[in-house]
A and B are shown apart, each in its own frame.
Chain A
Amino acid sequence: MDGFVASFQNNFIDDSRYLYLVQGLGMTLLITFFAAILGILLGFLVAIIRSTYEKTGKMKFANSICVLYLTVIRGTPAMVQLLIMYYVIFASANIGKPLVAILSFGINSGAYVAEIVRSGIMSIDSGQLEAGRSLGFSYAQTMWYVIMPQAFKNVLPALANEFIVLLKETSICGYIGLMDLTRGGDIIRSRTYEAFMPLIAVALIYLVLVVFLSSLVRKLERRLRASER
């Protein structure tokens, strides 16, 4: 027990080393939050273009750009994308590492969100679109009032899962020299030469975050279901 306390003292209290974890957690949450917003915007845009093409045959050119985007992003590792974004695309532009990470993870997540949302849109019975159109709603209005609310509800669990994956995936941003939660723990390890305490702490923080987010989603799902009964 004394050993545990001493180790805790050494890893987190001495030299205020816990600050590596606190600041790292802040960076992880910042990147996840803004990447998620970017991912949602991109994902919904791509999903709407793709399903509009599939349902009506319109937006052929935009659709092929979307297909290219999905193929490239889903066909390469997120870490390679991050490295290319930092060392190639923004090599000479000085826009700050957090922004590079947000863009990289946002663009990555958008591809997965797009396919989730598209499957949600396509799962809505075509009679819903016909009913909306036959009342006189335009395609866009029918999407907004009729299709998207139902599709969103159907894909909410998958969408939330994608953002939980995103939160964990940001742990690679140490590779471009950003101090996120994972890198913060790793810095402590390199200072104290103790691996157990800092790495288990990092893992526990991720775990608590994921469990908390999952419970929020379950609550939201229950509320959405209740509105239909």
Chain B
Amino acid sequence: MSAESVKAAANASGSNVLFEVKGLCKDFGNGLVLDHIDTTINQGEVVVIIGPSGSGKSTFLRSLNLLEEPTGGHIFFEGTDITDKHLNIDTYRQKIGMVFQHFNLFPHMTILRNMTLGPIKLLGIPEEEAVALAKGYLERVGLLDKADAYPSQLSGGQKQRIAIVRALCMNPEVMLFDEPTSALDPEMVGEVLEVMRDLAKGGMTMLIVTHEMGFAKEVAGRVLFIDEGKILEDDTPEEIFQNPKSERLQSFLAKIL
């Protein structure tokens, strides 16, 4: 049975848990940044993570693809414990797309090369096929004319759209967004959110750390409020924004809305 059909069978039986996080801790050496986090992310969910700066929300997101190595607890991805030291992290990371606040495009490569390097070198996709795939995505985000440009020739919004489709070219099962619009000029936020909205509509599993509350209300199926390394509230956006239970969330929302 191929990996695909195993997955299909698992889905059919109702088990569509993608991430299972158990007792996740992270300590940079001066106290817990993540304090025993437990949560489950299902396939197809769009989860927005909010919280004050320094609350650990970015660290939590980055732990999910081990850019931050957990100091305690376990993360299961499709049933496999990825905190297991013997696991090949690289093959696992190929399944997880990541979008950064500062885009992190490779400045010495053209846009097309940025997008095809991973598929060609890691997935073994023939070059023509990878190029066709990349161009398809470029067309979808309206940047086909930038295929041969270098990142320095693009605006912030364009860079972030490229960063998103670069991750998509690896055909990931989930996309992680770490404050994708925080470094953008206000007039460029919309174009990036538009791409993310489309992605959510297409059924992609997404975890998004953001300060765009309007976007969270509109797109999220679930909102996590993290403060001082703990998930204090985990609910639908309606409940979170209209009926915040904890005092911390109330004061957080009062400050930003």
Contact = CB atoms under 8 A, between A and B. Distances in A.
Nearest to B118: A135
Contacts of B166: 135
B33 to A, nearest CB: 17
Contact of A150 (B93, B108, B122): B108
A74 interface: no
Interface residue range, chain B:
20 to 34
Interface stretch (B24-32, B79-87, B95-103, B222-230): B95-103
Interface residues of A, number: 21
Given A134-B65, A134-B67, A134-B98, A145 B117 contact: yes
A23 interface: no
B108 A149 contact: yes
A229 interface: yes
Nearest to B110: A227
B118 to A, nearest CB: 4
Nearest to B122: A136
A79 interface: no
Interface string B166-190: 1100100000000000000000000
A128 interface: yes
A53 interface: no
Contacts of A150: 106-108
Nearest to B95: A136
A228 interface: yes
Contacts of A127: 100, 102, 104
B30 to A, nearest CB: 18
A130 B67 contact: yes
A138 interface: yes
Interface string B58-99: 000000010100000000000000000000001101101110
A165 interface: no
A146 B105 CA distance: 10
Nearest to A150: B108
Given A136-B170, A138-B90, A228 B152 contact: yes
Interface in A128-180: 128, 130-138, 141, 145-146, 149-150, 153
B104 A131 contact: yes
Nearest to A132: B106
A75 B112 CA distance: 47
Nearest to B66: A133
A132 B170 CA distance: 12
Contact of B118 (A128, A136, A228, A229): A136
B167 A128 contact: no
B121 A145 contact: yes
Contacts of A133: 67, 90, 93
Given A127-B100, A134-B96, A137-B118, 4 more contacts: A131-B98, A131-B105, A133-B93, A146-B106
26 contacts: A125-B102, A127-B102, A128-B104, A130-B100, A131-B100, A132-B106, A133-B67, A133-B90, A133-B93, A134-B65, A134-B93, A134-B98, A134-B167, A135-B98, A135-B117, A135-B118, A135-B166, A135-B170, A136-B93, A136-B170, A137-B122, A146-B106, A228-B108, A228-B150, A229-B150, A229-B153
Q: Which 9 A/B pairs are nearest by Cβ-Cβ distance? A: A136-B94, A131-B104, A134-B98, A127-B104, A135-B118, A136-B93, A138-B90, A136-B122, A136-B90
